[in-house]
Copies of this chain bind each other. A is one copy, B any other.
Amino acid sequence: MFDTAEIAHEVDKATYRQEEAKLREALLAAQFELLRHGGFPVLVLIGGVEGAGKGEVVNQLNEWLDPRHVQTSGFDRPSEDEAERPYMYRFWARLPPKGRIGIFLGAWHSHPIMERALGELSKAGVDQRVAEVQRFEKMLADEGVLLVKFWFHLTRKQQKKRLESLAAKKSTRWRVGDEEWKLFKKYDALREASEHFVRSTSTGDAPWFVVNGVDARSRALTVGQTLLAALRARLDEKPVKADRRRVRPNPLVAPLDGRNVIKALTLDQKLAERDYEQQLEKWQGRLNLLSRDPRFNRLSVVAVFEGNDAAGKGGAIRRVTGAIDARFIRPIPIAAPTEEERAQPYLWRFWRHLPRHGRMAIFDRSWYGRVLVERVEGFCDEAAWLRAYQEINDFEGDLHGSNTVLVKFWLAISKEEQMRRFKEREATPFKRFKITDEDWRNREKWDAYEHAVCDMIDRTSTPVAPWTLVEANNKFYTRIKVLKTLVRAVEAGLERA
């Protein structure tokens, strides 16, 4: 893969001037079309060896384009806050919104390549990272992000020459420090690690373009023209009807006999108010103690509450938040996405709320909206919610990987109990706000929702992030089961922490 890119192409000054003028105008036109179009974000990744002109090309792009609509990000070592979140947190935080161009100078590929070259990552570890990156980039592509990836390559000889010439000039001397020479000594290991990584993550959705870094004019034109071609291809695409966009996915069919995990629940569970008060005291106290355990500062807790309308999510959540100091817990009600959130991939608005270590986040509804309400109401196309199962599993895998205890509750009530609660809500002045026309409309789709819930549980209950089904006809029982489950999950998390 790198062999072809070892040829040091050359472009003479006159040709460059001519080509640059055309390119610049066309790039700007494409950028402004993108801005008006506003349909997708563009993310340019720049990776490669030291001295190959990565920084120069980024500056060049910022000169050719209108830099006010370009976000350039370089990634340093993660800060403390970032280090307490999953690896991908920093990159999510800097994704460009629709209509804009983001340039990442080094990104998610840099760490694994470096670790492999320094011998800190096994071959199996590399495979794992490659698979993660492939899935992440596929998700970006599926979400409409135009990903254009450039790898800057130099042969050992070319790199040595470049570094020496940088070191010789007063104005660029600072760019070649001990660090750079140390890395140069690892040339072979780095080359091997990067070639493997670059080849393995060159997918149909997001291939790498490997560019020789010797000639400044040649590399700049190559990058500019490749970016322009990618932009033009996407901008000139004829809009395709959503349901024609892909091979039609296999539909999910509900079992013929109507039996499912929800129907198998005994929704009426007993717990008297008196016993409830005692149990509440006990489990709230235990939860509080856990939040004060010194080991708690080494993990994050994320609890997800989903359930039928009127199943008692709010009441259960308040029993959890009431047990813990407000400094350490944050309820996050999920409503319609804001303008900033709509301009980003679906999971972006959940990533931004991930808690740091020593903190709990309580999601009142969550990323599961995509496979529940959005699926049933047709707010997104079938392909989007079908792929969401895997995207969610990947996301939750990332959470688990960064010491996050994830607890997911589905609160289930019977159709009869829901009717009783709806009517009670309508009759009680201070409960009336809890019932809207939408609740009545959702109720008419009871079976479709149940089908969606069963698929969701089937496809996203994983060993690291299992669903807890809560029989919720009895509010007292519900709240205690929620608290108890949460306490046990946190206890298990502390054991591991």
Contact = CB atoms under 8 A, between A and B. Distances in A.
Interface of A: 21, 24-25, 28, 32, 55, 58-59, 62-64, 66-69, 72-76, 79-81, 105-106, 170-171, 173-174, 281-282, 284-285, 288-289, 292, 314, 317-318, 321-322, 325-328, 330-331, 333, 335, 338-340, 356, 364, 429-430, 433-434
A25 B59 contact: no
A226 to B, nearest CB: 19
A174 B340 contact: no
Nearest to A365: B68
Contacts of A62: 318, 321
A59 B318 contact: yes
A281 to B, nearest CB: 4
A331 B331 CA distance: 33
Given A318-B62, A339-B339, A105 B326 contact: yes
Given A24-B430, A75-B327, A171-B281, 10 more contacts: A25-B429, A25-B430, A58-B326, A62-B321, A66-B434, A72-B321, A72-B326, A72-B330, A72-B331, A339-B340
A288 B322 CA distance: 51
Given A68-B364, A170-B281, A333-B68, A28 B328 contact: no
Contacts of A328: 74, 76
A383 to B, nearest CB: 28
Contacts of A79: 80-81, 356
Given A429-B25, A433-B28, A292 B174 contact: yes
A73 B330 contact: yes
Contacts of A338: 338-340
Nearest to A356: B79
23 contacts: A21-B429, A25-B429, A28-B430, A28-B433, A55-B326, A59-B318, A59-B322, A67-B314, A67-B317, A67-B331, A68-B333, A72-B321, A72-B326, A72-B330, A73-B330, A76-B327, A79-B81, A80-B80, A105-B326, A106-B327, A170-B285, A171-B282, A338-B339
A46 to B, nearest CB: 9
Nearest to A46: B326
A78 B105 CA distance: 30
A117 B274 CA distance: 44
Contacts of A317: 67
Contacts of A364: 67-68
A326 B174 contact: no
A21 B72 CA distance: 55
Among A75, A106, A289, A339: residue with most chain B CB under 10 A: A339
Nearest to A429: B25
A129 to B, nearest CB: 21
Nearest to A79: B81
